Chains A and B, each alone.
Chain A
Amino acid sequence: MMAVTPLTTTPEITPVQLSAASVAKKKLSSPWASLAAVVIAVLWTLPTFGLLLSSFRPELSIKRTGWWTFFTDPELTLDNYRAVFDSESGVNLADFFVNSLVICIPAVLIPVSLAALAAYAFAWIDFRGKNILFLAIFALQIVPLQVTLIPLLTIFVKIDISGTFWPLWLAHSTFALPLAIYLLHNFMKEVPAGLIEAARMDGAGHVAIFFRVMMPLMVPALAAFGIFQFLWVWNDLLVALVFAGGGNEVAPITYQLANLTGTRGTAWHLLASGTFVSIIVPVTVFLLLQRYFVRGLLAGSVKG
């Protein structure tokens, strides 16, 4: 499915780059095709741009005029950003921002490392019942999380950890496992068996092979899945609402943002700046690690 660029030491001479798409594009054709592409790009960018511009406009201006007014009557301020971090506004975004980080870090590290261990076992260890177990875990991908929430809530209340971060860590970690194991297993299977054999000959056990041979090779795959899990947890609302709904001490930033749309639906200055604060981290991660993120997508790792 992926285009593979052959490794060459000398640059290949490719006079005309051809592809089905570029040929199809040619007569659709240049001006119209470009126009269509630009229209789509603008439609996809404009909504975000409008809110970004709004987040820097004074409160009264946001509420009385459209953001496009900026181009005839430019006014900019940082007041909205100050407001969402100010405790007087009751928004306290900083607290929720920290909560999101506290939720995300273990909720990424735990499933990725556990899944790596499990994937290694499925890929390179022969044990009884392996195939059935692998199939069972693979099949668990079909369980939508809604199905698990009510009983999990009961369990968390019963063992008295509701209102802490534990339900969020445990739930996010568990939900990530089936897909993580499946994908990492696929990557590990592609490691040449000779490498493993050689290590075994040298007397390396499964622990040594896992750390010395497998981990270095798996960095891109682990990164790809890690980013996915990070974005997914950071952007989650459902799990947060169900398990952290009670206390603001553990609720993530998406929770507070959703609250604002309900209770302060008209406080556009808070909504606009608050939304951008919540977007900063995932977009930064996305832009920095785009390469891995796309690789993860192309490996079929999609979760929703």
Chain B
Amino acid sequence: MLSALLLFAAVLGIILFLASRVRGKRSDNAVGYLYLLPVVLMLAVGLVYPGLRTIYESFFDARGSAFIGIDNYKTIFTDHDQLVVLANTIIWVVIVPLLATAIGLVYAILVDRSRFESFAKALIFLPMAISMVAAGVIWKFMYEYRVDQPNVKQIGLINQIIVWLGGKPVQLLITDTFKLNTLLLIVVFIWIQAGFAMTVLSAAIKAIPDDIVEAARLDGVNPWSMFVKITLPSVRPTIVVVLTTIAIGTLKVFDVVRTMTGGNFNTSVIANEFYSQLIRADNQGLAAALAVVLFVLVTPIVFYNIRQVRQEA
């Protein structure tokens, strides 16, 4: 670690030393380029080149040696297993942003200006600070299943509740009827993301000018129309930003699926499938193609998000 920090300090030192040497009006170009040099180098080698290279490699076979045209993409859009992956990704990206945002909004309104506001917010927000791996373990424990025998007790809360209600315990993460296991993984990600939605929306709600609220109140507007006519329209741009931001994160979700099911039992999504193909199946070409598909899916959402942020600013 020291070596890295020392090397880095040396690079910074040289840049700053050189920058302090050039003086006068003409110096701006030189100093500007000097300040940007490390960043541009790193981005060129670490993002631009690999990105282009991956697009190129997505047209090659598993070992990256033979050109096979668009076969990898054909596989993604026709192979049964890959279609399940695509379908799951769509389910994720539709459900997670909507529910996480809705819960975040409702909760932000409910605790707004209550006595325990900051504590209440911290509770919902805390999952954001922990890793998705940790979240995966926490929820795996919630979903844990024990064989249904008289002397065996459930240790997972969900199955225990099912038993208390008189039902039979279910192998929650293995059952893919009605996409049950995928939906249960989605719950975990909503659990992580709702705090983000709540924080940002709460700030937006607090920014609604008091006189607008006061005027509406004097007009005798009831709480529901206050919500629909004042609150919602005022925070609409923020809602869009939150929805799209969560959607981008959802598309790239990997850790939750990998920790909880490893993508088995029909629960894989694109980002997880990318890893499986790259490391486990050793299919570099298909992994590259999956990454490119992810890229193509993320791009429009990111651009839309940026446009919203700009309009708001």
B48 pairs with A140, CB closer than 8 A: yes
Nearest B residue (CB) for A302: B245
Given contacts A150-B284, A268-B155, A298-B203, is CB(A48)–CB(B12) below 8 Å? no
CA distance A204 to B132 in the complex (A): 47
List, in ascending order, chain A residues with CB within 8 A of B149's CB. none
Nearest A residue (CB) for B118: A290
Given contacts A150-B288, A262-B262, is CB(A33)–CB(B4) below 8 Å? no
Partner of A3, one of B46, B123, B203, B312: B203
Q: Mark A10-52, 1 if CB is under 8 A from B, else 0.
A: 0000000111111111111100011011001100111110110
B47 pairs with A174, CB closer than 8 A: yes
A17 pairs with B155, CB closer than 8 A: no
Judged by a CB distance under 8 angstroms, whether A115 is at the interface is yes
Judged by a CB distance under 8 angstroms, whether A224 is at the interface is no
A166 pairs with B4, CB closer than 8 A: yes
B191 pairs with A22, CB closer than 8 A: no
Given contacts A20-B231, A36-B106, A146-B252, is CB(A47)–CB(B139) below 8 Å? yes
Number of interface residues of B (CB under 8 A): 130
Report the stretch among A74-82, A85-93, A121-129, A191-199 that lies at the interface: A121-129
Q: Mark A120-146, 1 if CB is under 8 A from B, else 0.
A: 110001111010010001001111111
**Interface residue ranges of B124-181 to A (CB < 8 Å):** 124, 126-134, 136-142, 144, 153-157, 160
A275 pairs with B123, CB closer than 8 A: no
CA distance A34 to B106 in the complex (A): 12
List, in ascending order, chain A residues with CB within 8 A of B19's CB. 205-207
A51 pairs with B238, CB closer than 8 A: no
A281 CB to nearest chain B CB (Å): 10
Judged by a CB distance under 8 angstroms, whether A225 is at the interface is no
How many A-B pairs fall under 8 Å by CB? 362
Given contacts A23-B217, A121-B32, is CB(A237)–CB(B132) below 8 Å? yes
Number of interface residues of A (CB under 8 A): 120
CA distance A3 to B46 in the complex (A): 38
**Interface residue ranges of A280-301 to B (CB < 8 Å):** 282-283, 285-287, 290, 293-294, 297-298, 300
Given contacts A152-B46, A205-B19, A257-B133, is CB(A169)–CB(B155) below 8 Å? no
At the interface, is chain A mostly helix, strand, loop or mixed?
helix
Judged by a CB distance under 8 angstroms, whether A54 is at the interface is yes
Partner of B50, one of A50, A63, A152, A254: A152
List, in ascending order, chain B residues with CB within 8 A of A286's CB. 126, 128-129
Given contacts A44-B194, A46-B157, A279-B134, is CB(A140)–CB(B141) below 8 Å? no
CA distance A304 to B252 in the complex (A): 7
A174 pairs with B42, CB closer than 8 A: yes
List, in ascending order, chain A residues with CB within 8 A of B39's CB. 114-115, 117-118, 137, 177, 181
Judged by a CB distance under 8 angstroms, whether B33 is at the interface is yes
A89 CB to nearest chain B CB (Å): 16
Report the stretch among B71-79, B83-91, B297-305 that lies at the interface: B297-305
Judged by a CB distance under 8 angstroms, whether B291 is at the interface is yes
List, in ascending order, chain A residues with CB within 8 A of B131's CB. 234-237, 254, 257, 278-279, 282
Given contacts A44-B127, A234-B131, A275-B134, 19 further A-B contacts (CB under 8 A): A1-B204, A21-B109, A25-B112, A37-B114, A54-B141, A106-B4, A109-B5, A117-B36, A120-B35, A125-B28, A127-B28, A133-B36, A146-B274, A150-B291, A207-B20, A241-B275, A258-B258, A262-B262, A265-B140
Return 11 A-B CB contacts under 8 Å, by A number.
Answer: A18-B214, A19-B113, A27-B224, A44-B191, A44-B195, A66-B153, A67-B157, A115-B39, A258-B133, A268-B141, A286-B128
Residues of B that sit less than 8 Å from A by CB: 1, 4-5, 8, 12, 15-16, 19-20, 23, 27-29, 31-33, 35-36, 38-40, 42-43, 45-51, 53-55, 57, 103, 106-114, 120, 122-124, 126-134, 136-142, 144, 153-157, 160, 191, 194-196, 199-200, 203-208, 210, 212-214, 216-217, 222-224, 226-227, 230-231, 234, 238, 241, 245, 248-249, 251-255, 258-260, 262, 271, 274-275, 278-279, 284, 287-288, 290-292, 294-295, 298-299, 302-303, 309, 312
Residues of A that sit less than 8 Å from B by CB: 1-3, 17-29, 33-34, 36-37, 40-41, 44-48, 50-51, 54, 62-68, 102, 105-106, 109-110, 113-115, 117-118, 120-121, 125-128, 130, 133, 137, 140-152, 155, 165-166, 169-171, 173-175, 177-178, 181, 205-208, 231, 234-238, 241-242, 245, 254, 257-258, 261-262, 265, 268, 271-272, 274-275, 278-279, 282-283, 285-287, 290, 293-294, 297-298, 300, 302, 304
